[in-house]
Chain A
């Protein structure tokens, strides 16, 4: 089962990467607000300034 020497560190590295990403996201305030992000994606279309390109 020597393959575990590869697979375990790889799985742990992937897991570690996700842990880091999680900390990064928390640190950056990504999850400070868990209400408005869900709402915002619906508003995106209304916020745009629509104009057709003039040549």
Chain B
């Protein structure tokens, strides 16, 4: 059925082959298991925001530790496994070739599961890099790179051995995914290890922020969007049994999307100290994205023309149509949020988690459900267990999601307007941050209820698909026959030749990785050197104890609820202090600007309160702030500062360009102990036992009291 213009040298011997569907089944099962865990974690942290007691007072069940686990599980475990299942199923069929290598497929599967397990074994224990969606520490980063390369080899190897000349649009989306995710992951994960479980980002401050959000935004683009669009272009036509509305539009969709997406990252950094032109660039490209995104949505929805009656009765089509609708809404909301004036209101508020979930639940979960309702009956050669149950799932998920999105709109806009409310005299109407928090707690309850409904809907799907698979038959593999793509397999040693064909591709992929890592390590240190031409002389590196305290701040995930950047807006300057300056962050490996203000900004917290206030606040936030949602951090009062790690930490920082002297590195322990004693002596005046000088809490207080002091005390930027 191929076009006459595409050369198809269909002479030669017919080849028999079968598809590897066992690997697809494995990924389907893994998707379901990790999906329920990701949602369970999401519901847990949603209740934690509604009532702080759900944190349970344990370090590994506290919001700051579980939130990275939730996001990593949702993106890389749930969506990741679903991508691999869908790609491996469709790739083989679109190319009429078995996957390149069965062993690589298995290494890919088990390696990926091992990575997820290691995430679950590190993140709750505070082993984190402190960069959102890239929290996993360096040994796991390396494992991710290796497994991704194996995926790439297996994928491109299959393309090389294909029996179908034309590369269908879905495969183009997969190709863009594989290449771009590899580049993003490697560049953003460049870090220098301090120990097996701790590293510092190669970049600092504004530069780290730009790399992080270039990665962060493209993780959404190339992990949660392009692979799913590829899946959409395969599975919707298959499920509807109709060709895609316009193949021409799908080609335009693909190329325009990949060219525009990569530039949109800076919209996460509007009104920060990132140069304004970069912010504007990010905003403009984000708005441009609206066009290809909606082109894709329309193409998907129009594919259903003529079968809209089936959308009512067929669960797979119903979920797919809903997924596309949410995709359209999320990709309309995204460009809207990227407009600076809208962003000024929405950034740091709950509007953003609402937006994110209309993507991950509305688009990713719904599309996965649609695909699996088509795929599972096919894989296990049977009928779906219960359509009724699937429809119940549909309504639970949809209503739950609508509750989630609307409550977060209301919470976000309400809180933002309260933050910025000023009276005629230029005073804040709500000077106490906590007033704006208490106001939106009812919305947090509604969100938690919505999330619970989504979780229940997912459990229904698990039961439904499990019963479907259980009723299925185990068939001998189906053997297909097709002519080879060209004459090369006519040679006497055709089979040997075919085996070798894939290797140049593998070599190319490995070289690309080597070039990326190599150039990163070679070039970046030389670049970071001259950024220490400090523009504000009062900005000095952290003391050893403050650096230690900063690591605790990262470990506890404080950045997930507190920002560290004051935007140049009247109400922010009145509330927090002088607007941030890029020079303040030059020693911040990694940057800690955050992306959400569940609590207030901390960029100017240093010196604002006495030590004793912080001491009480970390033990029980409600003792000093009535109505606070913050968890208790009682364990910081019982765990001792590991002073001996300090010289190593300082020397790694020095390697990164932070100007610590040799004597500071050798005397790091003594310096830290002396500073700890000053703080504990101060606390002792209020009756705190002196032995607290050895505890983590002192280091964290030291860091808090340093934040924003250097620049805040300087005259620069004053009017």
Q: Do residues B477 and A11 form an inter-chain contact, with CB atoms below 8 A?
A: no
Chain A positions within 8 Å of B234 at CB level: 41
Q: Do residues A38 and B237 form an inter-chain contact, with CB atoms below 8 A?
A: yes
Interface range, B side: 35 or more
CB-CB under 8 A for A3 and B478, given A34-B247, A38-B237, A41-B94: no
CB-CB under 8 A for A6 and B524, given A38-B243, A39-B243: yes
Contact of B168 among A3, A29, A37, A47 (CB under 8 A): A37
Contact of B1 among A2, A31, A36 (CB under 8 A): A36
CB-CB under 8 A for A7 and B258, given A1-B275, A37-B247, A48-B480: no
Q: Do residues B167 and A30 form an inter-chain contact, with CB atoms below 8 A?
A: yes
Q: Do residues A7 and B210 form an inter-chain contact, with CB atoms below 8 A?
A: yes
Closest CB-CB distance, A17 to chain B, in whole Å?
Answer: 7
Q: Do residues A37 and B166 form an inter-chain contact, with CB atoms below 8 A?
A: yes
A36-55 CB contacts (< 8 Å) to partner B: 36-44, 47-53
For the residues of A in contact with B, the DSSP-based class is helix
Chain A positions within 8 Å of B24 at CB level: none
Q: Do residues A29 and B6 form an inter-chain contact, with CB atoms below 8 A?
A: yes
Docked pose: A16 CA to B7 CA in angstroms: 27
B196 adjacent to chain A (CB < 8 Å) = no
B691 adjacent to chain A (CB < 8 Å) = no
B500 adjacent to chain A (CB < 8 Å) = no
Chain A positions within 8 Å of B251 at CB level: 31, 34
Binary per-residue interface labels of chain B (5-34) against chain A in the complex, 1 for a CB within 8 Å, 0 otherwise: 111000000000010000000000000000
B467-494 CB contacts (< 8 Å) to partner A: 475-482
Quick check: which of B175-183, B287-295, B540-548 contacts chain A, the rest being far away?
B175-183
Contact of B183 among A5, A10, A34, A38 (CB under 8 A): A10
Docked pose: A17 CA to B234 CA in angstroms: 24
Chain B positions within 8 Å of A31 at CB level: 251
B103 adjacent to chain A (CB < 8 Å) = no
Binary per-residue interface labels of chain A (9-26) against chain B in the complex, 1 for a CB within 8 Å, 0 otherwise: 011001101100110010
Q: Do residues A33 and B5 form an inter-chain contact, with CB atoms below 8 A?
A: yes
Q: Do residues B207 and A38 form an inter-chain contact, with CB atoms below 8 A?
A: no
Docked pose: A6 CA to B527 CA in angstroms: 9
Contact of A7 among B3, B214, B477, B481 (CB under 8 A): B214
CB-CB under 8 A for A18 and B1, given A41-B168, A42-B243: no
Closest CB-CB distance, B481 to chain A, in whole Å?
Answer: 4
In the complex formed, the residue of B with least CB distance to A13 is B183
B238 adjacent to chain A (CB < 8 Å) = yes
In the complex formed, the residue of A with least CB distance to B234 is A41
Closest CB-CB distance, A4 to chain B, in whole Å?
Answer: 8
B239-253 CB contacts (< 8 Å) to partner A: 241-244, 246-248, 250-251
Chain A positions within 8 Å of B571 at CB level: none
Chain B positions within 8 Å of A15 at CB level: 259, 262
Binary per-residue interface labels of chain B (146-181) against chain A in the complex, 1 for a CB within 8 Å, 0 otherwise: 000000000000000000001111001001100110
B255 adjacent to chain A (CB < 8 Å) = yes
Q: Do residues B238 and A53 form an inter-chain contact, with CB atoms below 8 A?
A: no
Docked pose: A25 CA to B183 CA in angstroms: 22
In the complex formed, the residue of B with least CB distance to A25 is B167
Contact of B7 among A25, A29, A52 (CB under 8 A): A29
B531 adjacent to chain A (CB < 8 Å) = yes
Docked pose: A36 CA to B4 CA in angstroms: 10
In the complex formed, the residue of B with least CB distance to A45 is B93
Q: Do residues A41 and B480 form an inter-chain contact, with CB atoms below 8 A?
A: no
B211 adjacent to chain A (CB < 8 Å) = yes
In the complex formed, the residue of B with least CB distance to A43 is B1
In the complex formed, the residue of B with least CB distance to A52 is B476
CB-CB under 8 A for A3 and B2, given A14-B262, A18-B176: no
B96 adjacent to chain A (CB < 8 Å) = yes
Chain A positions within 8 Å of B527 at CB level: 2-3, 5-6
Closest CB-CB distance, B203 to chain A, in whole Å?
Answer: 6
Q: Do residues A18 and B259 form an inter-chain contact, with CB atoms below 8 A?
A: yes
Chain A positions within 8 Å of B247 at CB level: 34-35, 37-38
Besides A38-B247, A41-B94, 10 more A-B contacts (Cβ < 8 Å) are: A1-B278, A6-B520, A7-B187, A14-B183, A30-B6, A38-B243, A39-B1, A50-B478, A51-B478, A52-B479
Q: List 9 A-B contacts (CB under 8 A).
A: A14-B179, A32-B3, A34-B247, A37-B169, A38-B237, A38-B246, A40-B2, A48-B480, A53-B479
In order of increasing CB-CB distance, the 4 nearest A-B pairs are: A33-B3, A38-B243, A3-B207, A38-B247
Q: Which residues of A contact B (CB under 8 A)?
A: 1-3, 5-7, 10-11, 14-15, 17-18, 21-22, 25, 29-44, 47-53
